[in-house]
Each structure stands twice: as structure tokens, then as C-alpha cells.
Structure 1
Amino acid sequence: MKVGLGLPISDLAVLFDWARRADAGPFSTLALLDRLVYDNPEPLVTLAAIAGAVDRIRVQTEVLLAPLRPPALMAKQVATLDRLSGGRLTLGIGLGARRDDYIAAGIDPHGRGARLDQVMKDMRRVWLGEPYGEGAGPIGPAPARHGGPEVLFGGFKPAAIQRIARFGDGLLCASPIAEMDGLFRAAEQAWRSAGRPGRPKLVAQLNAALGPDRILEEARGEIRRYYGGPQYMELPADYTGMVVRRMLTTAGEVRDAVDRLTNIGADEIIFYCWSSDPGQVDRFSETLA
């Protein structure tokens, strides 16, 4: 089982310390979330800087809100980051659930699933070196892997699961652990039905924080701040409270999650750590030893 860490977003000054500690530890991936109407760092820019500061660990968007971005420019940015990192990029991609992000980007949130499908078609064409369209030739640089970097789709609905089989390499699942087994099996079935060889990559995302009470309270506060507000589309009214309550806070809970997810076939777990304290990297490393 591979284990990665989600980087905190509340203090940019600590990100390189986080990255270097994780790179020296047992971790596979450093992930970073995406929002537009929030004070988080832009993920492609930030992960490019982090990839240059570490030697081996992968970097991952979790998830990049692709419908908000022009596909030709995004394809070029992603390919550049993939090349600069030596192929260590995983592109976690999705729709997002906040209306204000779409308003700020000047994008109609209705039909955003169809827009994401078209974005993926456009980006794949760029990454394969094909002309972008009439009057526009190929867009470089070529990504490290022909056809583009590893792509994971985040989501819970059937349309998101089917999108994996059409355009992606796997599922990035942030649901409760009890629901992940069904979503993993659905992704595998969609993969087989599409005639894809092998199996999709299955990645679980869980919120977790390890440390004294002040660290846990900081993490809970950051979750409430990030997920709070009235702008959600198609999510339960108490979604923020549910996310806070599900956060793992002890070494035993973290180890139990690893065991449960191993048993249902997860390939990797990303523990998203909301407190900015870099000491969490060491605590997770000791817990997983």
C-alpha cells in the first residue's frame, strides 16, 4: 500500500519543509487541493516549485477544477509540470462543488460534466502531439509520458465513474470508507465494460491530523473554514459537519484505515492533513512504520 500526504494550505511558508520531510520518509505522493474563490495556493504553480525541491516523491492535484481553465493553456501547463518533474505528476481532476468558483471564472456551472469531457478530449489531443484545431497547430512541450500524465478522476456519481473508463487511469475517492468498496467495484466494472486492459488505479483520500489538541483543533478549524459557506451544489446541508466528524485523529484510526482500504483493494491512500504543523509528517511516518 502506498501512502501520500495532502499538503496544508493555510501557511505557504511551511510547504517546502513539509515536502522535504515527506520526501525523506516513506511517502509516495504530495497532493494539493484546488479552489478559485479561496486563499489557497494555485496548485500547478505550487507543485512545480515543490517538484523542484524534492528528489523522488510524486506530486498530485487533488482535484484540479478543470472546467474553470482554458483547455489548451491547461494542457500546456500540465505537460510542462510533468516534464519538469521527470514524470512525477499525477493529475487528479474533477468538477468541484462550489458555485462561487464558477462565478469567478465566468463559467456556467450547468453542463459542467459535459464541459469536463470536452476538456479531456482537447487535452489528450494536445498531449498526443496533434494539431489543436483549424488554424492552430500542435502545442508543446510533450509530456513525459506519451498521451499525458496519469489522470485520476474525483467523484461519486455514475457519470464520474464512467468518465474514468473513457478518459482516465483511475479513481480518486474521498467518500466515507464504508462507501469506498462499492465505488471501487463500480470503477472496475466500468473499466471492464469499456474494454480497457488491466484495472483502474484506486486511490482513497481521507482527512486526518495527528498531534496534540491544538493541532487537532487547528485542523478542524481549517476544514470548517474551507468547507463552510452556502455556495455548494448538490451536497447535503450538514456536509461541513460530516467532514469534520470523519477526520481521523489517532494513530490507531490511521492504521485501521490502512488495513481496511488494503482489504478492499486500494492502491494508495492520501491522508489530507489540515494543520500546518510539519511535525505531522514525522508522526504519520512513525505511525505507518
Structure 2
Amino acid sequence: MDIGIGLPVGDPAALLDWARRAEAGPFSTLGLLDRLVYDNPEPLVALAVLAGATSRVRVQTEVLLAPLRDTALLAKQAATLDRMTGGRLVLGLGIGGRADDHQVTGVDLRTRGRRLDGQLAVLRRLWSGQPHGDGVGPIGPAPARPGGPTVLFGGFQPVALERVARWGDGFLAAAPPSWAGGLFDTVRGFWREHGRAGQPRIVAQVNVALGAEAVIDDARARMGAYYGFTGRAEEMVAGMRTTPAEVRAAVTAFADLGADEVICYCYGLDPTQVDRLADIV
């Protein structure tokens, strides 16, 4: 099973150090969160910089809020990054839930799921080299992977889980092992119903902080601030794994559920957490 690193969003300038440490270690992927009305780096721009500083690890959005973006431009950006990294881009997509993110882009929060479905039809068409439509030709460049970069979807509701089978390659699970198994089973069931070959890629996420108490306190504060809008920030922070034994147990639990990869998400800024995680995994 692959192990990736979820990057902190509090200091964009520090992410090159994180990326180089991950590249030198046993890690498979660099993941980055997305928000608009927040002090975080724009993920496609940031991951492009990190991809240029690495040669092996995948770069992955977790999750990019596609409804906030122009579809044709997103198709071009993703295809360019996928092509220039030799197919290392993994495009994790979701709909988001913050009203302010949607307000500043003029996107109706109530119709964001339908907008995403419409975007996916256009993205897949453009990535396959077909014309945009209405007299408008194709939009290049061609991605490294025929048909577009690997696409994963996050979410919890049945419509989001079915989207994996209709449009995607796999599932991003931001859920603890105690109830992630049911989500995995539902995704696999939809995959079979839609007649998809093989199995969906299953990528789990565990929030971690390793180091001195100050490192852990920093991570808890930053994670709480990031998820404050949910009303469940304290509950989510309480689930953070802060010891090697807890991290190993979570990774093992996801492996037992059949996950293909676990992303260890770090909110604290201390980059030596990468080295501590390497010693564990």
C-alpha cells in the first residue's frame, strides 16, 4: 500500500522543503487541500512548483473545488500539469461546502453538484482531444494519460459516491477507519453497477502530527481553524493521530479495508514530521 504526505497550507514558501523530504523518503504522493476564501496556496499553482522540484512523487489535489473554476481553463491547466509531469498529476475533485467560496465566484451553492457533473462531461471530452463545441475547436495540450489525468472524488453522500463510477478512477475517503469501510463498499458497488472494469482506486486520509508538544499544538490549532466553518472542528481535531503507534494503527486499519493508499495529512508546519513519518511507515 502506498503512503503519501498531505501538505500543510499555512506557509507556501515552506512546501519545497516538505516536497524534497518526501521525494527522498518512501512516500508516493504530495496532497494539497483547496479553499478560496482562506490563507492557503492555490493548489494547482503550488503543485506545479512542487512537481518541478521533484521527479518521482505524484502531485494530488484533495480536493480541488471544481465548481468554483472555469471548466475550459481547468481542463487546460490540468492537462498541462499532467503532461509536464509525465502523468504524475492526480486530480481529486469535490464540490466544497463554504458559502463564501461560492459567493466570491458567483457560483450557486445549491447547484454545485449538478455543475460538477456538467463540468466532468466537458473535461473528459476536451482531454480526449474532441472539440469544445459550438464551433470551438479542441483545447490542448493533450494530457500524458490518454483521456486525462487520474480523477478521484471525495464525498459522503450516495450521489458523490456514484460519481466515482460515472466519471472517475477512484475515491478519496476523508473518514476514519470505523466508518470508511462502508463508504469503500458503496463505491465498489456503484463501480460494478456501472459495468466498470477492475476496481476503483481507494485513497484514505488520516490527520497526523508528530513531534514535540508545540508541533502537535500548532497542528491542532491550524486544523481547527481550517475546519471551523463545519461546526465539527473540535471533533475532527480530536481524531488527529499524534503518536507513532496511533499512526501505524490507522494505516494498518485502512490496509485491512483494502485501501490502495493512505495520505498522512499534516497541518503543523514543522517539516521534520516527514522524516518522523518515514521512520514509521
TM class by smaller structure? over 0.9
Q: Which residue of 2 aligns with 1:113?
A: 113
Q: Which residue of 2 aligns with 1:86?
A: 86
Partner Cα separation in structure 2 for residue 176 and residue 22 of structure 1 = 24
Q: Which residue of 2 aligns with 1:271?
A: 264
Partner Cα separation in structure 2 for residue 249 and residue 54 of structure 1 = 28
Q: Which residue of 2 aligns with 1:33?
A: 33
Deviations 1:159-217 (A, max 9, x none): 01110000000100001221110000111000000000001000101111111100000
TM-superposed CA distance for 1:10, in Å, is 0.7
Partner Cα separation in structure 1 for residue 23 and residue 178 of structure 2 = 30
The residue identity in structure 2 corresponding to 1:207 is: N
Shift >4 Å, 4+ stretches: none
Contact 2:60 2:90 (8 Å CA) reproduced: yes
> Of 220, 223, 237, which residue of structure 2 is paired with 1:244?
237
What SS does the corresponding residue of 1:269 show, helix, strand or coil? strand
Q: Which residue of 2 aligns with 1:125?
A: 125
Partner Cα separation in structure 2 for residue 91 and residue 265 of structure 1 = 21
Deviations 1:76-104 (A, max 9, x none): 00000001111001000001111110001
Q: Which residue of 1 aligns with 2:194?
A: 194
Q: Which residue of 2 aligns with 1:99?
A: 99
The residue identity in structure 2 corresponding to 1:43 is: P
TM-superposed CA distance for 1:108, in Å, is 0.7
What SS does the corresponding residue of 2:108 show, helix, strand or coil? coil
Q: Which residue of 2 aligns with 1:3?
A: 3
Superposition pairs of residues 49-60 of structure 1, within 5 angstroms: 49-60=49-60
Q: Which residue of 1 aligns with 2:275?
A: 282
Partner Cα separation in structure 2 for residue 26 and residue 97 of structure 1 = 33
Partner Cα separation in structure 1 for residue 112 and residue 120 of structure 2 = 12
Contact 2:204 2:259 (8 Å CA) reproduced: yes
Aligned: 1:43 with 2:36 = no
Percent identity between matched residues is 57
Superposition pairs of residues 132-147 of structure 1, within 5 angstroms: 132-147=132-147
Q: Which residue of 2 aligns with 1:255?
A: 248
Q: Which residue of 1 aligns with 2:166?
A: 166
The residue identity in structure 1 corresponding to 2:273 is: Q
The residue identity in structure 2 corresponding to 1:258 is: V
TM-superposed CA distance for 1:135, in Å, is 1.9
What SS does the corresponding residue of 1:30 show, helix, strand or coil? strand
Contact 2:97 2:109 (8 Å CA) reproduced: no
Structure 2 unpaired stretches of 5+: none
Structure 1 unpaired stretches of 5+: none
TM-superposed CA distance for 1:13, in Å, is 1.9
TM-superposed CA distance for 1:12, in Å, is 1.5
State TM-score, norm by structure 2: 0.99
Partner Cα separation in structure 2 for residue 211 and residue 228 of structure 1 = 24
